[in-house]
C-alpha cells in the first residue's frame, strides 16, 4: 500500500477531523523565521554579546538563557538610539524586565509573517488552506497559522485558553503566546515557571482534543522538550486504557533531509518520564504528501462554520437567562451567524445532491459501483469528486463513470491515470504475494477461495488469482455481502483494491 493510501485510511477511520500541533520547524520551512535558539541569538548579536556567554552561564537551561538575554536587552532597548521609534510606540507595553525583548521579537515576527511564500512552497500552502482539520495547537509566536486560516478563532495565550469555553473546531490555540500581544510570549525562565504551574489546567483543557481527534505533530524534533512536557501532563490524567487510545491518535512527522522516495509511516516508542507512549511516526523530506491527504479528507462543512454553530448552542445551554432568539435558517458558508442567536437544524438536504459532490468518500463511490444506489450525476462526480479522491488514494473505482464518456480529453489526467493501472499493480503489497504461485495451483476458482477462507483473508487471496479465474457475478456477490469490511481499517484498503479490479473488469 502506498503511503498516501495508508495515511488516508488511518485518518479516515476516525469520526472527527485532525488537529495539527505545529512547532517552529513549520514556520522555518515557509517563512524562514528563526527557531527559538536562533531568535535569541539574533538579539544577543544585536547587543554585540556572544550568545555562548549566556549559554554557558545557563548551563543548558534554555529558559534561563532567555531571562539572561532579556535582562541585558532591557537596558539596551531603553538606551539605543536605533530603537527610539520602537520605544516611543511601545512604552505602554512595559510590564516587566522582559517586555522590551518581547516587544522587539513581536515586531520582528509580525513583519516576517508577511513574507511571501517561496514559489516552490505555494502549492503546499494552498493544500494547507484546503486541509480538512478541526484546529491547530502551536508553540509558535508568529502569525503564519492565522494567515492560512483567517476564519479560525485564535486564543493567544495559555491563560486565555484556560479561561475560555473551547469549541474544539475552527480554533487556533497559541499556548506560548502571540506576537500580536507581546507580553503573552513565553520566553524567559519566569515565563516557563508560570506556564508550568498552570500546565495541569491546560492539559485538562486539551485532554478532549487529544482523545477525540487524531493529532499530527508538524515542525517539532521528536525529542522536543515542549512536546514531552505537554504530553506528560496529559498522560497523568489518563488510565492505561486511555493512554493506549491516545497512542493510536498521535502522528509525529519527522523531517529527514536526505530521505528519498515517498514518505514512510511506522510505529515509534516515545519515552516520557520513564513511561513509553507508542505513536505513529512519518519520516519525510517535505510536507507535500501529508498535505495532499489532509486536503482529501471528508468534511461536510467548513470548520469555521461549525465552530460558530457550536458556540451559539453553548451560549444557549450555559446561560441562566436565554432571552435571545432561536432561529431555524437556511444558510451557507457566507451566513453571518453572529446576527443569529441560535441556529438549529444543520445537515445536507437530501433532495439537493449537488451540494454533496465535494464531500463524497471513496466508500460512497464503492457502494455505488456495487449496489448502483447513489443516482450520481456522472458529470458532477467526474468534475468535483473523483479528482480529489484519486489525488489522495491509489485505489478509487472510476471505470463505471468513465465508460459513458466518449471524449475523455477533458477528464482530469489523475482520473485516467487511476483507470489505466497495470493489472500487475493489484498484486503489489499483498501479504500473501509470496504464495501467489501456490494459490493459483491450489484454487481453481473464486468460489473455492470463498468457501475455504474467512472474508478478510479471501479478499487478499482473490487479488492474487489469475484473471481468468475471476467470475464477475460471484465476485460482485462477495463484495456486496462483505461491504462491512470498508469500516475495518486493517482490511478496507484491500477491499477497495478488489472493488477497483471488479469495476475495471466489468466496465472497461
Model confidence over 60-80: pLDDT tens digits?
Answer: 899 999 999 999 999 999 999
**In the chain, domain spans:** 3-31+115-296, 36-112, 303-347, 355-507
Cα gap 73→70, rounded to integer Å: 5
Phi, psi of 292 (to 5 degrees): -60, -40
Nearest CA among 448, 460, 394 for reference residue 425: 394
- Taking only Cα atoms into account, the Rg of the chain, rounded to an integer number of angstroms, comes to 27
Q: Which of 10-14, 243-247, 249-253, 286-290 bottoms out in mean pLDDT, i.e. has the lowest?
A: 243-247
Cα gap 205→272, rounded to integer Å: 20
Q: Are 368 and 400 in contact (CB under 8 A)?
A: yes
**382 has a pLDDT exceeding 60:** yes
Strands 326-327 and 250-255: unpaired
**215 has a pLDDT exceeding 70:** yes
Q: What is the mean pLDDT of residues 237-248?
A: 76
What is the arrangement of strands in the sheet containing 275-284, beginning at the earlier edge strand? 153-155, 171-174, 135-138, 19-22, 215-218, 250-255, 275-284, 264-272
- All three cell numbers of 137, joined, read 495547537
Please report the pLDDT score of residue 1 as a whole number.
73
Cα gap 145→274, rounded to integer Å: 33
If you search the block for the grid coordinates 475495471, which residue do you land on? 504
Number of residues in the chain: 508
Please report the pLDDT score of residue 161 as a whole number.
87
Would you call 154 exposed, middle or buried from its count of C-beta atoms within 10 A (0-12, 13-18, 19+)? Answer: middle
Please report the pLDDT score of residue 370 as a whole number.
94
Q: Which of 259-268, 347-356, 476-485 bottoms out in mean pLDDT, i.e. has the lowest?
A: 347-356
Q: What is the pLDDT of residues 3-56, one digit of tens each?
A: 988 899 888 878 788 999 999 999 999 999 998 889 999 999 999 999 999 999
Q: What is the pLDDT of residues 143-181, one digit of tens each?
A: 999 999 998 999 999 888 888 877 778 899 999 999 999
Distance of CA 29 to the CA centre of its chain: 17
Does this model's pTM top 0.85? My answer is: no
**311 has a pLDDT exceeding 90:** no
Strands 250-255 and 215-218: parallel
Nearest CA among 357, 297, 307 for reference residue 337: 307
Please report the pLDDT score of residue 88 as a whole number.
94
Domain range 3-31+115-296, its CATH number among 3.40.50, 3.30.70, 3.90.480, 1.10.3470? 3.40.50
Q: What is the pLDDT of residues 255-273, one digit of tens each?
A: 887 887 888 998 888 777 6
Nearest CA among 99, 90, 111, 75 for reference residue 187: 99
Please report the pLDDT score of residue 237 as a whole number.
75
Amino acid at each position: 500500500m502506498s503511503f498516501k493510501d495508508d495515511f488516508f485510511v488511518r485518518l479516515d477511520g476516525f469520526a472527527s477531523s485532525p488537529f495539527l500541533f505545529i512547532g517552529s520547524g513549520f514556520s522555518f520551512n515557509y517563512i524562514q523565521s528563526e527557531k527559538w535558539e536562533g531568535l535569541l541569538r539574533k538579539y544577543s548579536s544585536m547587543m554585540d554579546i556572544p550568545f555562548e556567554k549566556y549559554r554557558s552561564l545557563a548551563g543548558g537551561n534554555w529558559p534561563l538563557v532567555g531571562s539572561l538575554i532579556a535582562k541585558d536587552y532591557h537596558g539596551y532597548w531603553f538606551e539605543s538610539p536605533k530603537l527610539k521609534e520602537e520605544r516611543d510606540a511601545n512604552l505602554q507595553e512595559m510590564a516587566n524586565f522582559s517586555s522590551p525583548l518581547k516587544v522587539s521579537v513581536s515586531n520582528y515576527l509580525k513583519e516576517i509573517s508577511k513574507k511571501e511564500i517561496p514559489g516552490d512552497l505555494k502549492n503546499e500552502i494552498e493544500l494547507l488552506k484546503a486541509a480538512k482539520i478541526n484546529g491547530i495547537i502551536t508553540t509558535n509566536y508568529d502569525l503564519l497559522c492565522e494567515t492560512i486560516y483567517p476564519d479560525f478563532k485564535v486564543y493567544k495565550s495559555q491563560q486565555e485558553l484556560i479561561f475560555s469555553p473551547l469549541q474544539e473546531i475552527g480554533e487556533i490555540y497559541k499556548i506560548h503566546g502571540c506576537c500580536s500581544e507581546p507580553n503573552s510570549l513565553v520566553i524567559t525562565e519566569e515565563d516557563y515557571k508560570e506556564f508550568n504551574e498552570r500546565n495541569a489546567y491546560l492539559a485538562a483543557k486539551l485532554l478532549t482534543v487529544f482523545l477525540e481527534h487524531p493529532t499530527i505533530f508538524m515542525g517539532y524534533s521528536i525529542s522536543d522538550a515542549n512536546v514531552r512536557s505537554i504530553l506528560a501532563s496529559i498522560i497523568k490524567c489518563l488510565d492505561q486504557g486511555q493512554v493506549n487510545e491516545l497512542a493510536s491518535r498521535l502522528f509525529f512527522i519527522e523531517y529527514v533531509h536526505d530521505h528519498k522516495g515517498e514518505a514512510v509511516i511506522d510505529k515509534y516508542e516515545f519515552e516520557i518520564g520513564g513511561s513509553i507512549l507508542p505513536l505513529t511516526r512519518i519520516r519525510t523530506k517535505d510536507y507535500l504528501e501529508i498535505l495532499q491527504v489532509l486536503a482529501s479528507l471528508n468534511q461536510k462543512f467548513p470548520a469555521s462554520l461549525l465552530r460558530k454553530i457550536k458556540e451559539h448552542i453553548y451560549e444557549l445551554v450555559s446561560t441562566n437567562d436565554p432571552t435571545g432568539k432561536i432561529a431555524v435558517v437556511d444558510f451557507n458558508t457566507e451566513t453571518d451567524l453572529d446576527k443569529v442567536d441560535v441556529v438549529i437544524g444543520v445537515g445536507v438536504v437530501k433532495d439537493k445532491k449537488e451540494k454533496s459532490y465535494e464531500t463524497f468518500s471513496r466508500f460512497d463511490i464503492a457502494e455505488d459501483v456495487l449496489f448502483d444506489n447513489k443516482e450520481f450525476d456522472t458529470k458532477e462526480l467526474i468534475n468535483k469528486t473523483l479528482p480529489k479522491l484519486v489525488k489522495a488514494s491509489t485505489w478509487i473505482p472510476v471505470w463505471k463513470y468513465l465508460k459513458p464518456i466518449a471524449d475523455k480529453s477533458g477528464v482530469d489526467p489523475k482520473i485516467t491515470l487511476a483507470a489505466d493501472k497495470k493489472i500487475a499493480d493489484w498484486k503489489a503489497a499483498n501479504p500473501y504475494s509470496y504464495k501467489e504461485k501456490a494459490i493459483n495451483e491450489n484454487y481453481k476458482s473464486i468460489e473455492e477461495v470463498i468457501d475455504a477462507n474467512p472474508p478478510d483473508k479471501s479478499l487478499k487471496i482473490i487479488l492474487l488469482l489469475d484473471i481468468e479465474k475471476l467470475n464477475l457475478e460471484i465476485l460482485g456477490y462477495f463484495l456486496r455481502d462483505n461491504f462491512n469490511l470498508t469500516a475495518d481499517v486493517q482490511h478496507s484498503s484491500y477491499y477497495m483494491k478488489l472493488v477497483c479490479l471488479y469495476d475495471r473488469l466489468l466496465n472497461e
